[in-house]
Amino acid sequence: MTKLLATRSARIIHPSLALLLGAALRFGGQWLRRNPFKGKGALLLVIAGVGAGYRGVVEEDLSGLVLTPGFLDGHCHVESTMLTPAGFSELTAVRGTTGVAADPHEIANTCGMAGVEYMWRESLDCPIDLLFSAPSCVPASSFESPLEPLDACAMLEMFDRGLCSSLGEVMNYPGVIGGDPAVWAKLYASGRRPRSGHAPGLIGRDLSLTLEGFPAVVRFRCFSRHGERK
């Protein structure tokens, strides 16, 4: 009886948004003629010839258009574009980018924690998803002089406050390989969150040590065919 009532209720509830398509959807190079979204009715696609009769509270006629998934940028520095998060989002959204993993270490170098807070706050009402990484290399080495160093405690603060959801690119790969306590403290502070780091030209045991510190994401750069094979 419960299942029957739920089924009847679902048949009379209109989704909040219905996209009326005159064409099929393109996913991964393939054309689909079915509804790939199976949620709680928040979004419904009405494809030509499939699911006729559905109505939505808000309806958009996309006849003649092709609907594709949005692009996700796995790494960027929004402040390096000399734009605010809002300005950056407006330009990228119209070009198909719907999400960005941004590392604010450029503004963190000059403004410290306040810079990270600013980027997070200004991203809240943007038309794309801006997911920030905790800038792990402020400074990147002992030769740099940021406004304020951001240590492992700062990483924890950014995670606890919800400013960041991953660990930003660890550029001090010699510190990772050499067991630098300050570098590894930041790795441990990230817990099970995604981590990003550099591994330029590393092979063999050095690369293995680096992978130990970055189970999620490592940008590995080769300088020779030998390194590529390794």
Q: Are residues 76 and 55 in the same domain?
A: no
66 within some domain: no
Report yes or no on whether pTM surpasses 0.75: no
Q: What is the pLDDT of residues 131-168, one digit of tens each?
A: 999 999 898 777 778 888 999 999 999 999 999 999 98
Q: Are residues 44 and 85 in the same domain?
A: no
216 within some domain: yes
pLDDT of residue 170: 86
Q: What is the pLDDT of residues 7-33, one digit of tens each?
A: 444 454 555 666 655 445 555 555 554
Q: Are residues 188 and 112 in the same domain?
A: yes
Q: Which domain holds residue 208?
A: 71-229
* Cβ density class 81-119: b for 16+ within 10 Å, e for less: eeebbeebbeebeeeebeebbbbbbbbbbebbbebbebb
Tell me how many domains the chain contains.
2
Q: What is the pLDDT of residues 38-95, one digit of tens each?
A: 443 434 444 444 455 556 666 666 666 666 778 888 888 999 999 999 999 999 998 8
Q: What's the whole-number mean pLDDT along residues 169-174?
A: 83
Residue 107: DSSP 8-state: H
pLDDT of residue 18: 60
